[in-house]
Amino acid sequence: MSLPPGIRHPDEAQLALLAGGELGRWERLRVNRHLSRCSACAQQVELMRDVAGDLRKLAAELPQNLNWDQLDEDMRGNIRVGLAAGEAIARFDKPGLRARPRAWGWNAAMVIACGIVVFVAAFWINLPEQQADHLLGALRRIRPGRIGMPVRGLDASTDGIVLAASGSSLEVTENGRTMSLLHPQSDAVTVSVSMRGSVGVRYVDADTGQVTTNKVYDAEQ
Amino acid sequence: MRSSRFSAATVLLTILIAGALEAGVLPKIDLPKDSPVAVIAADYGDSSESARGGALLLDLHASLTLRNSSQRRIRGITLLVTAQEVTPGGRGSVTVTSLDVAPFETFPVHIDLRLLRPLQASAGAPVQIGLDGVLFDDLSFYGPDKLSSRRSLTLNEWEARRDRKYFKALVADGGPELLRREILESMTHAADRPALDVQMVRGGRATNFDPEKEVQFAFLRLPDSPVEPVEGMARIAGNEARAPRLEVWNKSPRAIRYLEVGWILKDRGGRQFLAGSVPAELSLAPGAKSHILENATLKFPQRGGAPLSIEGMTGFVSSVEFADGSVWIPSRADLADPQLRRVISPSGEEQRLIQIYRKKGLAALVAELNKF
């Protein structure tokens, strides 16, 4: 039976879905109506139904004790091997893209290292000896494990009393609070420290001409 | 009318400020009832109190006039200064030595003090001033002696007597010109001694990152010393020195109850300076040995220039007190040792005599030596 001109045949997918019984209701009515008038399409659908029947028979013939887990692992392994092979082939196809940046990285590192050596040498040669000693001392005091930790002053005992003598004052500091005895700034000031817990300064008072000694003590003195 | 109101308000404001200042600033002076000195006047001239952030800064400049109300001449006095509210564990003292105050004469004592105290301070006096001790010309002593003032005043007096005797002998032997040469040499040595800041804490431990090491003392043995240091160690880390341990031997025929070992440190550059003294109260029989141990830490912060790096130590016996109360101090001949002369400052009396020479000249210095 030939179709009137202008009528289109259903595509192969629609025919396959009809053969499998999976086409929607309205589509199935429309395709069945077409099959009733088109023998070629009807014949193709019939062929598809036969192949599907053969496949079902073949599936029924699979071994009874098939290990699906092992099969799953084998499949995953094959997929991974395939992906790795794909990557290897991709690298093999573009050798220049990898090699170029690696060579540039080493060159850059060499240039930077040489620059640092030249800079440090020039800096060290031009630095006054005293400053160089100071810098060296500071570098020696750096401990990687202590980086980021606060630098403390003289560590106080449990009662926290620190005695100190500076150019113009004697101080006793306890829990962050300070009492200072002041003295004139002079080269003639003599500092004395007793390891039993006192610090003192002695000077001649310019106004009175008296020998004055200021001292600070901790509690145990 | 407006002018008189303004004047009255100004006077009132001044009185209120003065009252507030008096309540907040003035120290409490507390002398024993039988004290050999009395406060005749107290001037607090430029004293002030001002807010600094969350605290009050008290600047106290006290000029006290004391009178010798005893029958003996006063040679030295120590006043105890405390601020219980601020530093309950710490104390201060102001000592005046090389005095010669006759009975009923007056003499001044200056106290310049700075205190940082909490804003919510109590209404009481922030500073208390008391008497710790007075030394008379016969070496007798009065006072509670909480700060061991008796010993330090006595040692000062012996040093003063030694130096006055030495300078008088110079004048007698070679005239004032010899005295001038000695004073000028002393001034030159004083200028050469390094000035260092120092911090001390008892029971502390090294806080810098230099590796700590045990360093052995070298000893300077003074021929006349009744005690000889045998051996000693201390821990050194960069600019910190701590925990000195010494063994001493009493080579005299008399029992000893107190001694001090001077502690000279040497830095990497070869500079030497007197770091402090290691005192010990002990009972040391003739011929006996004893150990001295002090658990304290000294730190010498940088004051310009390169940071201090301690490399070596020298110890010497700087004073001894025998069981009968008499004392030994190094003689002028001992102090002439080149190493000691480089590091030991002149006594307070020698400093005072140098100042007289500087301000008034050689004739005034000779006249001062002839006073007593």
**8 Å CB contact of B203 and A179:** no
Cα separations (Å) of A50 from A23, B26, B328?
Answer: 17, 118, 129
Residue B126 lies in a domain: yes
Cβ(B276)–Cβ(B263) below 8 Å: yes
Q: Tell which A residues from 129 to 188 touch B, by Cβ distance under 8 Å.
A: 130, 133-134, 137, 140-143, 146, 152-159, 161-167, 169-170, 172-174, 177-183, 187-188
Kindly determine whether residue B81 and residue A181, on different chains, have CB atoms separated by under 8 Å.
yes
Q: Give the span between the Cα atoms of B203 and B324, in whole angstroms.
A: 32
Lowest mean pLDDT among B121-125, B132-136, B137-141, B260-264: B121-125
Continuous segment of H or E residues that includes residue B277: strand B272-284
Question: Measured between alpha carbons, how far is B204 from A218 in angstroms, rounded to an integer?
Answer: 13
Q: Looking at the complex, does the CB of residue A219 fall below 8 Å from at least one CB of chain B? A: yes
Q: Are B180 and B174 in contact (CB under 8 A)?
A: no
Span B319-343, average pLDDT: 93
Calculate how close chain B gets to A102, using CA atoms only, in Å.
41
Region of poorest pLDDT, from A96-105, B48-57, B243-252, B312-321: A96-105
Whether residue B161 sits in one domain with residue B124:
no
Is B12 part of a structural domain of the chain? no
**Tokens standing for A102?**
């690696």
State mean pLDDT over B152-180. Answer: 96
* Domain match, B126 and B220 both: no
> Residue B198 and residue A191: Cβ atoms within 8 Å?
yes
B291 CB neighbour count, 10 Å cutoff = 13
Query: B203 and B137 share a domain?
Result: no
Query: Does B10 fall in a domain?
Result: no
Asked if residue B331 and residue B230 are part of one domain, the reply reads: yes
| Among B20-34, B137-151, B211-225, B307-321, the range of highest mean pLDDT | B137-151
- The answer to the question of residue B211 being in a domain is yes
Nearest to B42 by CA among B104, B129, B135, B143: B129
**A56 Cβ neighbours under 8 A, 6+ residues apart:** none
Lowest mean pLDDT among A67-76, A180-189, B94-103, B236-245: A67-76
Distance between A113 CA and the closest CA of chain B, angstroms? 29
Nearest-Cα distance to chain B for A118, in Å, is 26
* Residues on chain B touching A168 (C-beta within 8 angstroms): none
For B24, the enclosing helix (H) or strand (E) is helix B2-25
The SS3 of residue B357 is: helix
pLDDT at B204 over 70: no
Q: Does residue B213 sit in the same domain as residue B309? A: yes
B265 and B166 share one domain: no
Chain B residues within 8 A of A203 when measuring between CB atoms: 351
Residue B62's domain is classified under what CATH number? 2.60.40
pTM given for the model? 0.69
Same domain? B210 vs B325? yes
Q: Burial letters for B168-197: b for 16+ Cβ neighbours within 10 Å, e otherwise? A: eebbeeeeeeebbebbeebeeebeebeebe
Determine the 3-state secondary structure of B116 from DSSP. Answer: strand
Helix (H, G, I), strand (E, B) or coil at A97: helix
Asked if B128 reaches chain A (Cβ–Cβ under 8 Å), the answer is no
Residues A77-133: pLDDT tens digits?
A: 777 766 666 666 555 444 444 444 555 677 888 888 888 888 877 777 766 554 555
Residue B2 reports pLDDT greater than 60: no
Specify the number of domains making up chain B: 3
Nearest CA among B296, B274, B273, B292 for reference residue B282? B292
Parent domain of B356: 156-192+351-369
Q: Which residue of B has its CA nearest to A129?
A: B306
pLDDT of residue A135: 59
Domain ranges of chain A: 12-60, 66-115, 161-217
Residue B336, classified by CB atoms within 10 Å of its CB into exposed (0-12), middle (13-18) or buried (19+), is: exposed
- Compute the distance between CA of residue A156 and CA of residue A197 in angstroms, rounded to an integer: 12
Quick one: what percent of chain A has pLDDT higher than 90? Answer: 10
Backbone angles phi and psi of A187, in degrees to 5: -70, -20
State which amino acid sits at residue B71: Q
Span B235-294, pLDDT tens digits: 998 888 989 999 999 999 999 999 999 999 998 888 888 888 999 999 999 999 999 998
Q: Is residue B13 part of a domain?
A: no
Indicate yes or no: CB of A180 within 8 angstroms of CB of B113. Answer: yes
Q: Which residues numbered 236-265 in B keep a CB inside 8 Å of some CB on A?
A: 238, 240, 244, 260, 263
> Helix crossing, A25-35 with A39-60: angle to 10°?
120
Q: Which residues of B touch A161 (CB under 8 A)?
A: 87, 89-90, 201-202
Residue A220 pLDDT: 60
Q: What was the pLDDT predicted at A111?
A: 86
DSSP B305-338: SSPP-EEEEEEEEEEEEETTS-EE---HHHHTSH
Yes or no: say if B272 and B343 are a contact pair by the CB < 8 Å rule.
Answer: yes
A215 and chain B in contact, CB less than 8 A: yes
Q: Does residue B4 belong to any structural domain of this protein?
A: no
Pick among A171, A195, A199, A211 to test the B interface (most B CBs inside 10 A): A195
**pLDDT in the model for residue B111:** 94
Q: Which residue of B has its CA nearest to A158?
A: B203
Min CA distance, B11 vs chain A (Å)?
33
